[in-house]
Amino acid sequence: MLAEHTDEQLLELALNRNEEAFTALYRRRQGPVYRFALHMSGSPQVAEEVTQDVFVFLLQRGRDFDPQRGALGAYLFGVARNYVRRAMEKNYTDATTLTPAEDDDPVLVTEFDPMRDIARSQTSQAVWKAVLSLPEHYREVVVLCDLQEQTYADAAQALGCALGTVRSRLHRAHEMLARKLKNTAPMLAGFPGDAARCLS
């Protein structure tokens, strides 16, 4: 029954001490929040802590959420972004732990074809490393728009910036990623070399 409720309705119920509503909201929204934190930090531990902090924050300050200003999902991404930043500022994770290790590779789709699986795993590792090496404001838009498949408007709300800023950052981030992947994993992606541009 609660599955039919919108996020905002669930939040309203949860703030009125309805545990079922809160649980439903948590289960619906914890995945994207966790993955956002994971892609941003590269650390499952940080991602779990950020997820927990985000929902505790929602319990305490959920009344501050204004549905007029955007969707709850984007609001949660905005909160998660702040917690990830805080974790990084505290040097909770240093540069080495940010790089995903083989063991940290999240649940990959396992199929019977082991070669294909390995290739996929290698590709995702290389892309993830490239994403993590991006500057933070470029990484945010890639994670939100490409990996979380958020709309530009939602991303803009989560990041607290203009839509055009999201577009331009994303474009620049793609250029940087393409260059990084061409340099670091040309054999995986088959990225071409520098193209001779003819901006005629």
The residues that touch another protein, with contacts defined as CB under 8 A, are 14, 17, 19, 22-23, 26-27, 30-31, 33-35, 38-39, 47-48, 51-52, 55-56, 59-60, 105-109, 120-121, 123-124, 126-128, 131, 142, 145-149, 167, 170-171, 174, 177-178, 181-182, 188-193, 195-200
- How far is Cα 130 from Cα 133, in angstroms, rounded to an integer? 5
Task: Return the structure tokens found at 177.
Answer: 């990623």
Return the closest-CA partner of residue 2 out of 31, 23, 33, 16.
Answer: 23
**Shorter beta-carbon distance to another protein: residue 69 or 162:** 162
d(CA 2, CA 21): 7
- The residue among 69 and 72 lying less far from another protein, judged by its C-beta, is 72
CB of 175 to another protein, least distance (A): 9
Q: Which is nearer to another protein, 106 or 160 (CB)?
A: 106
Neighbours of 169 (CB within 10 A): 21
Question: By C-beta, is 68 or 177 nearer to another protein?
Answer: 177
The nearest distance, CB 126 to another protein, in angstroms, is 7
Nearer to another protein, 91 or 193 (CB): 193
The DSSP secondary structure of 3-61, one letter per residue, reads GGS-HHHHHHHHHTT-HHHHHHHHHHHHHHHHHHHHHHHS-HHHHHHHHHHHHHHHHHH
**DSSP symbol at 145:** I
Please provide the DSSP assignment of 84-124 as one string: HHHHHHTTSS-HHHHSPPTTT---PPP-S-HHHHHHHHHHH
Question: Shortest Cβ distance from residue 2 to another protein (Å)?
Answer: 15
Beta carbons of 99 and 133 less than 8 angstroms apart: no
Residue 66 CB, shortest distance to another protein, in Å, is 20
Q: Which is nearer to another protein, 68 or 107 (CB)?
A: 107
CB of 6 to another protein, least distance (A): 20
CB of 108 to another protein, least distance (A): 5
